[in-house]
Structure 1
Amino acid sequence: MTAVIPTDHHFPWTEEEYLALGETEDRVELFEGDLHVSSSPTPRHQRICGKLFMILDTPAEACGLHVHGAINLRLKPGTIVIPDLTITSTIDFDARVVAADRAKLVCEVTSPSNATTDKVLKMHYYAEAGIPWYLLVEHQTATLRLHRLENNAYVRHATVRPGDVLRLIEPVTAEIRPESLLPPH
């Protein structure tokens, strides 16, 4: 299903108007009343997200948390984003939007077309929303950059490249080998 975004709309967009767009193949996010639209992810991007989901799902459930693919995450009124992967505490699984205070970790898979949004804009908003952990995965190399929230800003906790292992102890206990996220050659 593809939503049609009206070009004659007057700004800012409200959350109600944003949610009324419905489901779309494109990723449409709301940043303080402005829409940001990006095209559907590549197969490489989707594989990385799928592999991460499989690695994190069982450990998350073991400690009462839940792993989600692309969900609407409200960071503050008028700002709803769609992280590639989110680990949350208990939520209403039928809600159209999840509150940021439920998110324990968000993950974005960066690619050349969205790297600045993920590394700067979203990092700022996720920190402002108080999400404890932010994982960035580089699209081509599967380099993992894990950030933890400290004094309302993210600080680099670990950088792991293929051949190394990222050992998470919060919010779940898991090991991620970056090379396992990449498609076969």
Structure 2
Amino acid sequence: MRLPRAEGWYADDLDNLPEAPAHTELIDGVLVFRLVPQTIWHSRMISELREALAAQAPPGIEADSGMTIRLDLRNRPEADIVVNTAPFDPELTWFAPADVRLVVEVVLPESAHRDRTVKLRKYAEAGIPHYWIVDKEGSAPVVHVYALDGPTGAYAPAGIFRGTLDRPVPFPIALDLDALRQ
């Protein structure tokens, strides 16, 4: 792998690093690799939650997984699920924050700090209106929901959901969380 510039990597560099492993993201100019195996719980939670969100989304809103969001020149994190309004482009490799309505991160032990603190702050600073963190209690999902507070530019907690999740934004969403882990 080639070496970064003295000031680190840039968001556009991710498209030109074919030797980088899958699921590489950029945080503050530093490449971050997923080095631990993904669990089956994590994989299925992403798939089933993405499918449930896509099924409830109105026309013009999509739910995608495994894509990055270009927050600025030096930050391009990969979100587990991105609910977005971006027009379809088969060559698209990242979403702009203006097209993102909701980001969902399903926590892995190695990503917990980034998901709960770093990404929480960076997604809010980029103006993404809704952020969910899906954690595991036993084998059940618990969803921590955040909404962007306009005056402060930070996320405010909007609820913790177990069993079911009902939210009116970014579109009406009703989820049986317990059914997601079947």
Give, in angstroms, the shift of residue 41 of structure 1. 2.4
TM-score using structure 2 length: 0.87
Contact 2:105 2:115 in 1 (8 A): yes
Residue of structure 2 equivalent to 1:96? 93
Q: 1:10 to 1:76 in 2, by over 3 A?
A: closer
Matched residue SS, 1:38 = coil
Aligned partner of 1:17 among 2, 10, 13: 13
Contact 2:70 2:97 in 1 (8 A): yes
1:59-113 deviation per Cα after TM superposition (whole angstroms, max 9, x unaligned)? 21x2421111111210112211110001011334322221111000000001221
CA distance in 2: counterparts of 1:16 and 1:144, whole angstroms: 32
Give, in angstroms, the shift of residue 22 of structure 1. 3.1
Unmatched 5+ residue regions in structure 2?
none
Residue of structure 1 equivalent to 2:177? 178
Contact 1:91 1:98 in 2 (8 A): no
Unmatched 5+ residue regions in structure 1?
none
Residue of structure 2 equivalent to 1:123? 120
Give, in angstroms, the shift of residue 58 of structure 1. 2.0
Q: 1:102 to 1:85 in 2, by over 3 A?
A: same
* 2:145 partner letter: L
Q: Percent identity?
A: 24
Residue of structure 2 equivalent to 1:112? 109
Give, in angstroms, the shift of residue 23 of structure 1. 7.7
The alignment's C-alpha RMSD in Å is 1.9
CA distance in 1: counterparts of 2:41 and 2:161, whole angstroms: 19
Aligned partner of 1:83 among 60, 79, 85: 79
Residue of structure 1 equivalent to 2:60? 64
CA distance in 1: counterparts of 2:153 and 2:165, whole angstroms: 24
Name segments (4+ residues, structure 1) moved above 6 Å.
Answer: none
1:135-163 deviation per Cα after TM superposition (whole angstroms, max 9, x unaligned)? 110045310111100021111101012xx
Q: How many residues align?
A: 175
Q: Within 5 Å, which residues of 2 pair with 1:6-45?
A: 6=2, 8-11=3-6, 12-22=8-18, 25-39=21-35, 41-45=38-42
TM-score using structure 1 length: 0.86
* 2:65 partner letter: G
Q: 1:23 to 1:58 in 2, by over 3 A?
A: farther
